[in-house]
Each structure stands twice: as C-alpha cells, then as structure tokens.
Amino acid sequence: MNHMDRSRILLTEHNREDQIVARRILEKAGYAVDIAENGRQAVDMASTIPYDLLLMDIELPELDGLAAAIQIRQSLHGKDVPIIALTALTGEALVSQCLSAGMNEVLHKPPDEQALAACIDRWVNSLPTVLIVDDREDSRQLLEYFLKDAPWRVVFAKNGVEAIAVFKREDRISLILMDMEMPVMDGYTAARTIASLMGQNTLPIIAMTAHEGEAEMAKCRKAGCTGHIGKPITREGLLHALSALLPTSASVPGHAPRGPAERPVVHIDPDLSELVPRFLDNRRKDAAEIVRLLAGNDLDAIRIIGHSMAGSSGGYGFPEIGTMGKAIENAALSTDHAKIKGLAEQLSAYLSRVIVVAGKG
C-alpha cells in the first residue's frame, strides 16, 4: 500500500518499550506512523504535517501532553485532528483536564490491541473517504493540499488500474475524483469498471477534465460519471463540489450547515466531565445498534433508542444529539427506513467530529 493511501498517525511516547508496542499494533493495522519523543517535538510535527490522528502520552519530557495538546489546537493542522490521550494515571480529574485541553478521548496504558484499534476506528475510519485518481504527482499533491483541512479522508491512485484495486480494497469510499486522461488505464475505462462493480449501490464519480462541451460531458456520463470538475481545479471549486455530495457534519433540520473545516464544539458542565466520555461512547453504540436493528426491521426498538436519546442528551449538554434522537423516534413511527439510515449516519458523523470542552464557551 502506498504511504499516501494510509491514514497517518503521530505517536508521542517517550518510553521506548511502549513506543515499540504501540507502533507494532498501528503498523499491523495498516497505518503510517511517525514518532515524537517529547511534547515539544509533537507540537512542531503536528503544526506542519496534516496527521489523521494524534496519540499523546500525558507524561512527557520538555512539554507535557496536556500543554502540547493546547498548543497543537492553536495551529493550522491541529485545529481538527483527533487527539487521544495515553496515560497510566486514573481519576475523574484527569479526564476533565484532558477534555479541557482539547483531547477527544482517554486511553489507559498500556492499551490492548483491540481497544486501540477500536478507538482509532471511531475517530479516523468513520470519516467519509475520497479516492483521487490522477497520474500526475504535482496534481495529486495540489489536491491533497486543497483538502488538508477538510473533514474527509483522502486516498490516491495513479491510474485506472490502481483506482480499481483501491476501490476493491477500501470499503469506506464515499466519492471518486477521476482524471479522465491517464496512462495504463484511462478514467473512462476505470469509471465504467467501477460503476459495474457497484451493483445496486450508487457512488459519485466526478470527472476531472480540461475538455469542454456537451460531447465531452456525455462521454463522461456514459462512462458512469455523475458529475465533472473542469481543469484547472481551484480550491474553492473543489470544496464546493465535494461539500454538496459529502457530509461535513451531522447537521439536522433547522441547524445551519457548518463549513468544510469546522467541527462542532460543545462546552459542558465541568462536573459532568467524568460522565461525558461514557455518554458519547454509548451513543456510538446506539448508532451501530440502529443500523443492526434496521436490517432486522425492528422499528419499535429503534423508536425506543431515539426516545431515550432525545430525553437524556440535553442534560449532558448535547442538544444536537437530542434533536437527532427525536428525529429517529419520529422516523421509526412513520416507518421511514431511508431517513432512519441517514440519521444514524449523521449521528456517527457528529460523534466522530465533536470536540468537548469543560467550561463555558
């Protein structure tokens, strides 16, 4: 697998044995791993490189993990990246400190392989994935730069053959940007092949082409493309096209949509800090359970989950989750399967993006 196709994780850990163990687990799972051995080094690296996730030991030399997280949140690349605290310490006060510093979750050391994998899956692999297919390295680098702060995971292929292989390997691809003129296998052939592999599923394939005119557009549509972006591509044009097709946050009716790089921030009562991580984890389980129940057509069980969510979320400081819960309850009552599925996806997206801060905003 090409390095650019893998999620990139920064592991900040000064203990060499813990470093080796965590790195082995992460690389076995297919992630690209960089190492920082102290908080100062982590701040420097996270401020210049767009990581998909940071694993941060709390007790670090030079600059501790809490102080490092605060500084990282102030940097360009650190505003939105999930930060997972690693600590051998326990206690409610520590959890509160981690949340206040901008960390998203706390894992106790040494984390076992299953717990670490599940945590990363919650924060990284739940993001919509964009497959970019372009034979020119400078074009791929430019598109990667345009999307560096966007809330989507990006994977790459250099030609149509690679694109088909990536499509078969990756089960979370939400959209494909396809250059149409490429060696080995052009975009038209690749789009036709991928479209045939989808079966009943639908996946946007956006043609990237410098050709203009209705004849070219018809050719792209015939190949299975659902839209196009004219070259040269601008950042504004790219983000506008993708934002229309991909979720950027778990927005619900009546709420203004968020910008592509913005993440929801919830300020909670500090007295609830030790309870909120479990509350959010239970909501993640609810989202997965709703999908399972929907497959079995158990709408009454889904209604009960939505009702419970609507009743409890506001007390924890998460009115958006409460609104989604009420919408899930109503969708179950009206037997609207498509809406239930969409709301479950919105809930998962919200939970993967939300930043929790103890105290008033």
Same domain, residue pair 87 and 53: yes
Q: Which two tokens stand for residue 261?
A: 């790089």
Same domain, residue pair 22 and 117: yes
* Number of independent structural domains in the chain: 3
- 57 located within any domain: yes
- 232 located within any domain: yes
| Alpha carbon distance 131, 5 (integer Å) | 9
- 250 located within any domain: no
CA neighbor of 7 nearest in space, from 35, 27, 23: 27
pLDDT tens digits for the chain (361 residues)? 343 456 789 999 998 888 898 898 888 888 889 999 999 999 999 988 888 899 999 999 889 999 999 999 887 666 778 899 998 887 777 777 888 788 888 888 877 788 888 788 777 766 678 899 998 888 888 888 888 767 777 888 899 999 998 888 776 788 999 999 898 999 899 999 998 887 656 788 899 888 878 888 888 888 888 888 888 888 888 888 887 777 653 332 222 333 333 456 777 877 787 788 888 888 989 998 999 999 999 999 999 999 999 888 888 888 889 999 999 999 999 999 988 988 988 888 888 777 776 655 4
Same domain, residue pair 226 and 297: no
122 secondary structure, DSSP code: I
CA neighbor of 350 nearest in space, from 193, 151, 153, 167: 151
Q: Which two tokens stand for residue 201?
A: 């599923």
Q: Is pTM beyond 0.75 here?
A: no
**Domain housing 234:** 129-243
With tokens 């959890």, the residue in question is 95
Kindly report the CATH number assigned to the domain that includes residue 167: 3.40.50.2300
With tokens 């979720």, the residue in question is 247
Burial group, residue 317, by CB count within 10 angstroms (0-12, 13-18, 19+): middle
Of 185, 209, 243, which residue constitutes the final position of a domain? 243
Cα four-point dihedral sign 154, 159, 160, 164: negative
